[in-house]
Structure formats: structure tokens, C-alpha cells
Structure 1
Amino acid sequence: MSSISFIGLGTMVHAIATRAVAGGNTVEVLGRDSAKAEGLAAALGGGATAGTFGTVPAGDIVVLAVPYTSAVSVVARYGDALAGKVIIDITNTFDADATGLVTPDGTSGAQEIANAAPASAHVVKAFNTVFGHVIAQGRPLDVFFAGDDARAKASVSAFVESLGLRPLDVGGLEMARWLEGVGPLLMGLARHGVGSFDVALSVDIAD
């Protein structure tokens, strides 16, 4: 199993971390509100702990679960504390009405985060294509991910499997922009094509 630190205390953290604890992973949560972090760790159980925001995360894998608008500044604040870590970027980069992306053409939020991280850290884009409340339902889901480092991707893949989810590799980190584009697609599908946010994308592999 994996050692995971979550930076952030929101709905996605609660959903992923709950499944992480159930899957036998070691879990640490970190946030600016230390009391909230301690409360979340207690609610998760399974030996989950609350770390100190801004210090070296205990986990080999660090899940960056903060809004896109603050992600680069949070990574910059951590600086060398993230050296050697696998950073899972779960941020969404869509605009206010969720119909487009705010990142410039040809790049992605994940690539911006990678540029801000220490050279020895490896960023993998994952989890932004699934809604937190759907993850919390406990059903099997597909998790699409992208990254440039094979070992980092193998670590993320094993972590995803420990959650009872299916990891699907879409390629290098340049593919993160297309994963981020799934955000508006999902929002549009939920609002118009399905009429519910209890929706997830999956791949049907033909025999």
C-alpha cells in the first residue's frame, strides 16, 4: 500500500481519503486550518493523521487538492519540501460557468504546477475527471491519469487500484490539458445530457 499526504481539506479529499484508508493506505491530511485537519483525520480513522501545513509531507505521494487558482502558489510555498515526491494534481481549470478552460492554449494547470515544483518531484494529473460525491458512493470507477515519469505513474496506478478504482493511462503530461477539458464536458453532460451530477465517464473495452 501507499503513504499518501493530502494538501487540502475539501470534499474531494474526504472522498478519496476515505477510500484510501479503507484500502489500507497510510493517510495524512494537511491544511491551513489545523483544527479542521485534525477533525478530518479523526473522522477518517484508520490511523489517519493531521500534519502541519507547509512542512514536509509524510507521504511519498502528495495529493494536491486545492483550487487551481492557488495551486501554483501552494506548491511554491512548499518548495523543496516536495522534493522527490509524486504530486497528484486533481485541480480543474475551467472558467466560472464551466464552459471553457482558463489556461492558455497548448498548456495545462498540471504543467504549470510541474514547472513550480522541485525538479526531482513528478506531477501526475488524475482524479479531476470524477466528481467527489460519486467517488464517495463507493462504486467502481475509471480514473484517467497523465504524467511523464513511468515510476511515478506506476505508483499512482497502484494507489488508484487500492481505492477499488480502475486506473487508465492516457499518456504524457501534455495530455493533462485534455483531461482538464473533461471538466467542462462532464458539467455539460450533467446539466444537459443526463440531468444529474451522479454521472461518471467510463471505458468499455471490447472483447
Structure 2
Amino acid sequence: MRIGIIGAGAMAEGLGGQWARVGHDVFVGGRDEGRATALAARIGARAGSLGEAARHGTDAVLLAVPYAAAVEVVSSLDLGGRALVDCTNPVGPGFRLETAGGPSAAERIAAAAPGARVVKAFNLCHESVWRLTPPVFDGRPLAVPLCGDDTGALEAVRRLVRDLGCAPVNGGGLDRAALLEATAAFLIGLWVGEGADAQAIAPPREYAGI
């Protein structure tokens, strides 16, 4: 698959490195092209500008910039027709959801990138998790929820999830991305703010009363 990565930070390295490792054609784009070039050299990818990364990602484009910059960045690019994977988290001080009471981050990104087929994914885990090969805990692969409306884009992202050794989970349409983002804010607050094992808050499915 031809994957473009918008951003040259930790999430770009964690996910992009794994996809390059399994043979995908990965191109890293950054505002600081020197930083993008250094990242690409570490993970076995190519590098250039943000626009070049967007053009390269004919199968998928990962948006891996801080949420505060996301709308501005995508609005400056031609992402029409691209499967645009949004892993941003609109979480502010005090682990508050910065988009509370309004559209989700994913919906705002979709509005700023007309024609892009946005899928919310990969936002529940710290970048260090994506460096694991594979992310399997007590014999159980990590599940990755996806929210999106386009069948083709969802299928492309499912493949990328499986290539990490993880299991894709249908989270519903893009209108449910706000729930996924709120979940991230809540879990981060438990992990960081309380030092709690957030995974322990949910019982196994057979005990969930369903």
C-alpha cells in the first residue's frame, strides 16, 4: 500500500515504522522537511513536504499532527478521495475534551478536507504501544476501534490495523468519533491523572450482561 504520513512526530514514527517494516511504501511529510527526512531514514521510508505526502498516499494518509494544528494543516492540502486516518486527540489541560459540546475533531477535520474519506483510529494508545511487535497482551491482540462512513476507507484501515498485529473493531460511523475521542480523554485521565489501570474498568464480555 502507498501510505502518506502527515507529520514527523512520535505517532508518525510508531505507526509508520511498523507499516514500513511489513513492506508498505511509506512517505513522511513534514513542515520541517529536515525532521521528516531524519524520521524517514530511521524507519525505512521516503520524505518530503506535506503536499508530497498527501499525493503519495493513494491508499491511505495518516494525519499525525497535534490536534491544535490539524484543521489548518488539512485545509492547506488536496486530500480529495484519500482515506484520511485521524489519530488526533483533542485533549486539553485537566484531561478535558477540547471539542465538548460541538463537532468531534474527526468531523472538523472532515469538514476542512472536502472529499477526504475520514476514519478515526489509533487514538486510544500512547505511541510506545505502536512500537510493540506485535501489541499483544496476555495472549490477546490489541483491539483498535474504527469510526468512519466510507466502506473502502474502512477496509484500507482494517488492513493497516491487522498489519500491526492488532484486531480492528467496528465503532460505527464518523458521527460516533466524538465518543471515541471522549473515551481517550477519560482513559488518559485515569492512566496519567490517577495512575489507574484503565483496562480494569470493564469486565470481560461474558460478564457484561449482554
Q: Give the corresponding residue for 1:186.
A: 187
Q: Give the corresponding residue for 1:38.
A: 37
CA distance in 2, matches of 1:67, 1:92: 8
Where does 1:47-62 land on structure 2 (aligned, <5 Å)? 48-55=45-52, 56-60=54-58, 61-62=60-61
Q: Give the corresponding residue for 1:71.
A: 70
Where does 1:88-107 land on structure 2 (aligned, <5 Å)? 88-98=85-95, 100-107=96-103
SS of match in other structure, 2:175? helix
Give CA deviations for 1:60-112 in whole Å, capped at 9, x if unaligned. 2110011111111101111xx211100001110112221x2111425200000
Give CA deviations for 1:182-201 in whole Å, capped at 9, x if unaligned. 222221221325369xx799
CA distance in 2, matches of 1:202, 1:36: 40
Measure how far apart 1:57 and its partner are.
Answer: 2.6
Q: Give the corresponding residue for 1:110.
A: 106
CA distance in 2, matches of 1:135, 1:202: 22
Where does 1:87-166 land on structure 2 (aligned, <5 Å)? 87-98=84-95, 100-119=96-115, 121-138=116-133, 139-140=135-136, 141-166=142-167
SS of match in other structure, 2:146? strand
Where does 1:164-203 land on structure 2 (aligned, <5 Å)? 164-191=165-192, 192=194, 194=196
CA distance in 2, matches of 1:116, 1:205: 38
Measure how far apart 1:164 and its partner are.
Answer: 1.2
Report the TM-score when normalising by structure 1.
0.87
Structure 1 residues 26 and 84: alpha-carbon distance in aligned structure 2, compared to 1, 3 A threshold: same
Contact 1:20 1:162 in 2 (8 A): yes
> How much is the aligned-residue C-alpha RMSD, in angstroms?
2.3
CA distance in 2, matches of 1:150, 1:31: 29
Measure how far apart 1:51 and its partner are.
Answer: 2.4
Structure 1 residues 174 and 51: alpha-carbon distance in aligned structure 2, compared to 1, 3 A threshold: same
CA distance in 2, matches of 1:201, 1:71: 31
Measure how far apart 1:23 and its partner are.
Answer: 2.0
Pairs aligned (count):
198
Structure with bigger helix share is 2
Mind listing any 5+ residue stretches in structure 2 that lack a counterpart?
Answer: 137-141
Mind listing any 5+ residue stretches in structure 1 that lack a counterpart?
Answer: none
